Amino acid sequence: MRLYLIRHGQTDSNVKHLLDTAHPGAPLDELGLSQAEALADRMADVSLDAVYSSDLLRAVQTATPLAARRGLEVQQLPGLREIPAGVEEMNEDWSVYLATLDKWMTDPLAKLEGGEDANTFMTRFDDAIAQIAAANEVAALVSHGAALRVWTPFRATNIQTGTGAHRRLANTAMIVAEGDPEAGWRVLSWGDEPIG
């Protein structure tokens, strides 16, 4: 199948560089709402069986124009949520959060107080992807920056694990991948960059 993995549009928390990972999260700001409409425009010629999002408000709002233009409902999956920041929630210093995610390469049980370890995150995100793959040939999902940059290299056969943190994924940018949960995924493009 083909997956379009899309980061949500801009929020005020993005602008203020706040670790906003908890439910329901900040809504899209004015620019973010425009980005969501522009995403639907960019994907107007893409055939989709379904549109999914995490249940955080910004992801649902980003997915809504994309689904609406096709007469589809946004299917919310909590498994697509952002990696929780726990005690670092709403901090403007991301260093502890990012350092914890970096540790997952060697210590999958590392986590922040109130957060998730790698095994917990990967299991819930994998479960959401498996649900999508079981029901569709082509689907779009709207998720979150850290979640997509961590999950994709771990599950892609053509991207080195741990390199996602070094790949930018702007608001409403997407990763296009083909494959399935059993065989793995091959990334065709990351943002505007084709992947060989």
Element (H, E) at 164: none
Question: Quick check: is 73 catalytic?
Answer: no
> What DSSP state is assigned to residue 27?
P
Catalytic site residue from 30, 37, 73, 82: 82
> Which residue from 97, 58, 56 is spatially nearest to 77, judged by alpha carbons?
56
Element (H, E) at 176: strand 174-180
Give one word for 22, left, alpha or beta, with left for phi > 0 and alpha for psi -120 to 50.
Answer: beta
Tokens in use for 85?
């920041």
For residues 80 and 194, give the distance between their C-alpha atoms in angstroms, rounded to a whole number: 24
Question: Quick check: is 8 catalytic?
Answer: yes
Cβ pair 172, 5 in contact under 8 A: no
DSSP per residue, 97-117: HHHHHHHTTT-TT---TTS--
Annotated catalytic residues are: 8, 82
